[in-house]
A and B are shown apart, each in its own frame.
With several copies, the nearest count.
Chain A
């Protein structure tokens, strides 16, 4: 599929130019994007990650969500310099929560940036998105990668900061929410990094793969043509089987298109997933179906589930104003 772009090397900078033009609340200093207008005064939430997952990460730089985002090349982490610049720009003197996906490069970069700003007295806490159950066994849960569930964590952290919680409290609330969030994805077709000759993997016509990573990392199984109901059943079963500290009977359920898969098909899957949860006595109180965390034109979807108590439900329902979040 042809890319609508100019050059591969200009891809990220040009898309950020476009983003800033569509949202006058944002400012940009190179690869550091911050919410200049309409943001909160308290604890700042900063995220970052590779491009190619829009609206994740930078699209959530919005009231009620994150205050700043460090932007990497397509499928690469943000540079140390952009992490540092974003933290400095977002900080309001109340400390900064670094909230991003658990990828090796990103961790190193944010850690280095945090050490640098620490020299100037800016305090950072880190919470990692580790929701992808296909990227590690329950015993290795801390090594798991972050996928679309991170968006739910943005909302939690943003609402906690909005109500005036201090850095430790925001971090604790978000960490607890992360411990109650699980995702699993499946892919039906690959995507191509701008400038690359072709996709870095290929799925045959009518093939699908469960558990594939958002950069195309191999998954749990590859098979031909399973029905939507069959997929929904397996995804729900795997999510529910994964242990969490204190599971509740109320969940937020996010069905996310990785790009090419139409929302119609997410709705078909949603229908069955909600019914399966109901069978287990679990209610979906916050359904979200859309493009929240993509892999460019990749086909497929992810299902994310956050177990809710009253506190988390209230935070997810708190007012916000992000054009890529509407549930």
Chain B
């Protein structure tokens, strides 16, 4: 068993619903340190993805299509990092209809590296990439989807808690880093909420 396009599509639907639900919460989190739009960004992005779910069975083509949708649907940092993620996954999965769960972590490691290269952040800056990094480490080699989901969620929750009292170090937020102490990074919070919804999907699909 592994990740297929149909599982991916189900996950996108769940994520889109979760994004709608979390919109206000994420906007509020971003308003405390950024421009207050993380919620609307994520909601619009996943609405667009849900409206253009790939029909192909080829995972690489599916991720390429999702990357195209993302690249036209949003211009926010978070949205563009999601585009980067889709593009990164598209190439190695070209021609494959299924990605074994045990290999997911390695692909996410590539995604993390591309995001850091593109966005210029470093690990520890308190961004969604820190959360992704924790997930990569925690899920390495796990091939049971239910456990993988649980471990990923635990890693996400722990990262959120671990970074809460650290200062943000990128973007405008770094100018008043002190005031970000005690606050969740909106990107991390978004990833956490989406992951929660997505993992539920995978679990029920598994």
Residues in A lying within 8 Å of B, measured CB to CB: 9, 30, 50, 70, 72-73, 75-82, 84, 103-109, 111-112, 134-136, 143, 145, 193, 195-197, 200-201, 213, 215-218
Contact = CB atoms under 8 A, between A and B. Distances in A.
Nearest to B170: A104
Nearest to A136: B175
Interface stretch (B57-65, B77-85, B150-158): B77-85
B9 interface: no
B2 interface: no
Contact of A201 (B31, B84, B175): B31
A213 B172 contact: yes
Contact of A72 (B68, B75, B83): B75
Contacts of B118: 108, 111-112
B34 A217 contact: yes
Contacts of A201: 31, 36
B27 A50 contact: no
Contact of A80 (B78, B80, B175, B176): B80
Closest 10 CB pairs of A and B: A77-B75, A200-B36, A215-B35, A81-B72, A105-B77, A80-B71, A72-B75, A200-B31, A217-B172, A108-B80
Nearest to A73: B75
B interface, how many residues as a size bin?
A: 35 or more
12 contacts: A73-B75, A79-B71, A81-B68, A81-B71, A82-B72, A82-B75, A107-B120, A108-B77, A134-B175, A145-B172, A197-B24, A215-B36
Q: Is the interface of B mostly helix, strand, loop or mixed?
A: helix
Contacts of A216: 31, 35-36
Contacts of A217: 34-35, 172, 175
B175 A104 contact: no
Contact of B72 (A79, A106, A193): A79
A105 B75 contact: yes
B198 interface: no
Interface of B: 24, 27, 30-31, 34-37, 40-41, 44, 68, 70-81, 83-84, 118-120, 170-172, 174-176, 179
A105 B79 contact: yes
Contacts of A143: 174
A112 B175 CA distance: 27
Contacts of B84: 108, 112
Nearest to A211: B175
B75 A109 contact: yes
Contacts of A111: 118
B144 to A, nearest CB: 35
B176 A218 contact: yes
B83 A112 contact: yes
Contacts of A80: 70-72, 75, 80, 83
A77 B80 contact: yes
Given A9-B44, A76-B74, A79-B73, 9 more contacts: A78-B75, A80-B70, A81-B72, A107-B120, A111-B118, A143-B174, A195-B40, A213-B172, A216-B35
Contacts of A84: 71
Contacts of B75: 50, 70, 72-73, 76-80, 82, 105-106, 109
